[in-house]
Chains A and B, each alone.
Chain A
Amino acid sequence: GENVEQHPSTLSVQEGDSAVIKCTYSDSASNYFPWYKQELGKRPQLIIDIRSNVGEKKDQRIAVTLNKTAKHFSLHITETQPEDSAVYFCAASKTGGFKTIFGAGTRLFVKA
């Protein structure tokens, strides 16, 4: 069945370093890949997304890359700050959009 694997489950970095979270999806028909950030006790919120017709997208310190052939996509956060500490979820869905499959989440700790 459809599956999204996410690694690592926990990531600890020093403030100012970069953080990379990787995801792999199983359904080759997937064409929309959002990333959500969930702070402790809060709701998940979209931070960036990418569609399958582009390979990379950047928004300030956050970037996402997509390799359709390998069915991989990654989140890159540069110059990390303590407020980046949260759980990050990758997800995948396809045209029709009624079902989004989420990865298991990565808990990011940014140490000051």
Chain B
Amino acid sequence: DTAVSQTPKYLVTQMGNDKSIKCEQNLGHDTMYWYKQDSKKFLKIMFSYNNKELIINETVPNRFSPKSPDKAHLNLHINSLELGDSAVYFCASSPLSGGYSYEQYFGPGTRLTVT
């Protein structure tokens, strides 16, 4: 059973298009995240959601709009794609018990290429 899954795995699109990435976790975790990993492998947090509510929005352009229909899903919609959006996007989830941080479980990543 895949713990955190993302679709699609690869996404190639042209500048100006709109695209979505879907993420699902079957671990029963309360908290989900989106990360962007650029070509230099730097992992930067974009959004954190807890129980479907947005907690962290890390100065991400408003062309990026996350949506959490329920605790198990966190989708990412990107409008008007730009060349600089090319990266690998990772979804992750973690339990949050008593406010303490725990291990994050990452999805397989979505490699987005904007041409």
Contact = CB atoms under 8 A, between A and B. Distances in A.
Interface of A: 31-32, 34, 38, 42-46, 49, 87, 89, 93-102, 104-105, 107
A81 B31 CA distance: 35
Contacts of A43: 90, 106-109
Interface string B78-115: 00000000000010001010011111101111000000
Contacts of B55: 98
Interface in B25-50: 31, 33, 40-45, 48, 50
Contacts of A96: 99, 101
Contact of B56 (A46, A87, A98): A98
Contact of A97 (B40, B44, B90, B100): B100
18 contacts: A32-B100, A38-B41, A42-B108, A43-B109, A46-B104, A49-B103, A89-B43, A95-B100, A97-B31, A97-B100, A97-B102, A99-B48, A99-B56, A102-B42, A102-B45, A104-B41, A105-B43, A107-B41
Contacts of A95: 99-101
Interface residues of B, number: 26
A31 B100 CA distance: 9
Nearest to B90: A43
- Most B CB contacts (10 A, CB to CB) among A34, A98, A104 go to A98
Contacts of B101: 31-32, 93-97, 100
Q: Which of A32, A42, A97 has the most CB of B within 10 A?
A: A97
Contacts of A102: 42-45
B42 A105 contact: yes
Contacts of A99: 45, 48, 56, 58
